[in-house]
Chain A
């Protein structure tokens, strides 16, 4: 499985090791790890809860992966996204892209993250020290980042 949704923490080094073991056709690996920050604009954060749409999330990640493999000359790629309650410092998302030459790996990792942020059905809820909860709003900058890849937007305008 090249896309996974899981509660458990991931190990970026182990993921890369598993992907490269015994291979000599990989020239470059780009990994991106997203972490939970300890504050939102200076307001201390207690935890971040990730909700997802079981079934659709895996399917959508799979579609994003197929698209990345079509667009870039990848040897392999992996996306791991966590769900449930996470605390500051924990990893939320891992993207690993392997290619013969570095540019495809850099571009594919960016593409995978941009598409994941705008299409994969995950939602973040922030919990603050006073118990207040806040659903994170989607950012226009994420939609612009997706738009630069030239695909049709998945959502209404």
Chain B
């Protein structure tokens, strides 16, 4: 244990597994990674916009932000969904199975 301030900062830190599928995965160049959510980010939509700032491959993947879909802990969600408590966030294009 460290000082009170450090404990508070650690407690506020939320790490998630981010998974990418189909052309989102190809553009990002990886299928999953561990990410610490910045304190300024509260929703799935804000998280996508923040990811897009991490490099040209992310900018490319999230360029069509209105098209990219999301799931929190393997359940479809809208961009307004809060990230608090989530362990896994996934981004993917609209599904085309069947």
A residues bordering B, Cβ < 8 Å? 34, 50-53, 55-56, 59-60, 81, 92-93, 113, 116-125, 135-139, 154-156
Q: Does B4 contact A (CB under 8 A)?
A: no
- Is A135 a contact partner of B22 (Cβ separation < 8 A)? yes
- Knowing A92-B98, A113-B98, A156-B69, say if A123 contacts B93 (CB, 8 Å): yes
Tally of contact residues, B, Cβ under 8 A:
20
Interfacial chain A residues near B23, Cβ < 8 Å: 135
**Highest count of chain A CB atoms <10 Å: which of B22, B66, B69:** B22
Distance to closest chain A CB from B48 (angstroms): 11
One digit per residue, 1 when the CB lies within 8 angstroms of any chain A CB and 0 when it does not, for chain B 72-98 equals 001110110000000000101111111
Contact A118 B95 (CB under 8 A): yes
Most interface-central of A51, A55, A125 (chain B CB within 10 A): A51
A124 to B90 alpha-carbon distance, docked (Å): 18
Question: What would be 7 A-B contacts, judged by CB atoms less than 8 Å apart?
Answer: A53-B19, A53-B74, A59-B74, A117-B97, A120-B95, A124-B96, A135-B93
Cβ of B50 within 8 Å of any chain A Cβ, yes or no, is no
